[in-house]
């Protein structure tokens, strides 16, 4: 009877389990359910105790639910059950877990926050704030905190390469909606940020950064007319959103830092090879990358690993480590060229 009841309870949802438990309680048959017999003894003994040792009104109402679930046979998988969640940790899909992740990550990042950005920095609500939580009283999301860490990894690579100050001209290939561009413009206020991307993502970063940093983004209808980007021209503005193909129009050795987050691993080898050649051509400073350790590119029928990338023999590796957030991702940085 116990195993049958447990199996039936397993197939029911929250309301069904409770209704079934209420039915079983009314039947008052627990001779084949030893755990219910023990539970009945526990209740009997507790009822004899003084009010100091019995549930208050709040927990008494909750215990009524618990009793229904116990009678339904849910002890077998109690760690998965709703009633256990009332006094154990929340389920993985609970929003409380999301906030806990942000809080832990935020505290971890304080260890590397040498510029003190996290003491005052916050994420703008423009474009939607569904993923944001108030951390230390300021809105932040996982995207924002990742970007803070990535900006500091850029600075770490820059300093490890024995380059003075901070990078002034940063190029990111595949920037999504521009989260890292926004943070870098806050942490490195004197920098210029260039985004190279495909149209579907480029329209997102162009639109969102115009809202988040009004007046800083060069209009695309203007930048698409440029046929040659010198370092001086790029530094004269704050944010550029360029088509991926426009990397060929950037002057050699004009870029301080080249960045790619999460997208190289999604490309076929021939495209990766081209971008590595281009970044080697335009960069005289550092290259920072964060990618999956093993990417199964089913569409292009290739596997990309950490060893797949065509790193040039004259690049100096500055660091390589597993990502703070994801065990299956790694981040690495190289020094390219020489100091100015």
Q: Which one is the CATH code of 100-336: 3.30.9.10, 3.30.70.240, 3.40.50.150, 3.40.190.10? A: 3.40.50.150
pLDDT at residue 17 in the model:
75
Phi, psi (degrees; rounded to nearest 5) at 55: -65, 140
**Whether residue 340 has pLDDT greater than 50:** no
- Write out the H or E segment, with its range, that includes residue 171: strand 169-173
**What pLDDT band is residue 339 in, cutting at 50, 70 and 90?**
very low
**Who wins on pLDDT, 13 or 259?**
259
| C-alpha radius of gyration, the chain, whole number | 28
Report DSSP state, residue 81: S
Across 208-216, average pLDDT = 97
Q: What is the pTM of this model?
A: 0.85
**Who wins on pLDDT, 13 or 301?**
301
Across 16-41, average pLDDT = 74
**Whether residue 32 has pLDDT greater than 90:** no
Q: What's the Cα-to-Cα distance from 18 to each of 69, 71, 296, rounded to whole Å? A: 6, 9, 44
pLDDT at residue 208 in the model:
97
Q: How far apart are CA 326 and CA 268, in angstroms?
A: 23
Q: Using CA of residue 299, residue 304, residue 308, residue 312, what is the dihedral sign?
A: positive
Q: Which tokens hold the place of 134?
A: 């108030």
Domains of the chain by residue range: 2-85, 100-336
Across 145-151, average pLDDT = 98
The pLDDT tens digits of the residues spanning 50-59 come to: 999 999 998 8
The pLDDT tens digits of the residues spanning 98-134 come to: 999 999 999 999 999 999 999 999 999 999 998 999 9
Buried b vs exposed e over 137-149: b needs ≥16 C-beta within 10 Å?
A: ebebbbbbbbbbb
pLDDT at residue 24 in the model:
77
Residue 339 CA, distance from chain mean position: 33
DSSP string, 98-125: HHHHHHHHHHHHTTT-TT-GGGT-----
Within 10 A of 321 (CB to CB), how many other CB atoms are there?
A: 10
Beta strands in 128-243 (DSSP E): 133-135, 138-140, 169-173, 192-197, 217-218, 239-243
Q: How far apart are CA 46 and CA 116, in angstroms?
A: 55
Least confident of 62-71, 87-96, 228-237, 294-303: 87-96
Nearest Cα residue to 330 out of 286, 294, 276: 294
pLDDT at residue 61 in the model:
86
Nearest Cα residue to 21 out of 31, 36, 32: 36
Q: Using CA of residue 112, residue 117, residue 121, residue 127, what is the dihedral sign?
A: negative
Q: Mean pLDDT highest for which of 27-41, 82-96, 172-186? A: 172-186
Q: What's the Cα-to-Cα distance from 297 to each of 197, 261, 300, rounded to whole Å? A: 20, 17, 6
């Amino acid at each position: 009877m116990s195993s049958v009841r447990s199996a039936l309870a397993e197939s029911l949802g929250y309301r069904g389990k409770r209704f079934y438990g209420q039915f079983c309680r009314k039947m008052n048959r627990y001779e084949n359910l030893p755990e219910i017999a023990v539970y009945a003894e526990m209740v009997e003994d507790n009822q004899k105790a003084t009010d100091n040792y019995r549930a208050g009104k709040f927990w008494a109402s909750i215990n009524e639910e618990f009793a229904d679930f116990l009678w339904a046979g849910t002890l077998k998988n109690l760690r998965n059950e709703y009633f256990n969640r009332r006094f154990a940790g929340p389920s993985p899909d609970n929003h409380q877990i999301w906030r806990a992740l942000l809080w832990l990550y935020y505290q971890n990042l304080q260890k590397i926050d040498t510029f003190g950005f996290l003491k005052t920095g916050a994420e703008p609500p423009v474009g939607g704030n569904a993923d944001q939580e108030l951390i230390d009283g300021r809105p932040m999301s996982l995207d924002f905190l990742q970007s803070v860490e990535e900006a500091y990894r850029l600075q770490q690579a820059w300093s490890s390469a024995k380059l003075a100050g901070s990078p002034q001209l940063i190029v990111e290939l595949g920037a999504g909606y521009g989260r890292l561009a926004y943070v870098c413009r806050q942490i490195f206020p004197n920098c210029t940020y260039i985004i190279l991307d495909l149209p579907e993502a480029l329209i997102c970063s162009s639109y969102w950064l115009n809202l988040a940093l009004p007046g800083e983004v060069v209009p695309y209808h203007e930048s698409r007319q440029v046929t040659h980007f010198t370092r001086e021209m790029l530094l004269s503005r704050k944010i550029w959103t360029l088509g991926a193909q426009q990397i060929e129009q950037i002057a050699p050795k004009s870029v301080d830092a080249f960045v790619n987050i999460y997208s190289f691993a999604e490309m076929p080898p021939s495209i990766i090879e081209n971008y590595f050649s281009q970044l080697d051509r335009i960069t005289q400073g550092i290259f920072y990358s964060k990618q999956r350790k093993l990417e199964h590119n089913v569409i292009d029928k290739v596997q990309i690993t950490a060893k797949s990338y065509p790193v040039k023999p004259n690049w100096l590796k500055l660091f390589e480590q597993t990502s703070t957030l994801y065990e299956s991702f790694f981040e690495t940085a190289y020094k390219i060229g020489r100091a100015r």
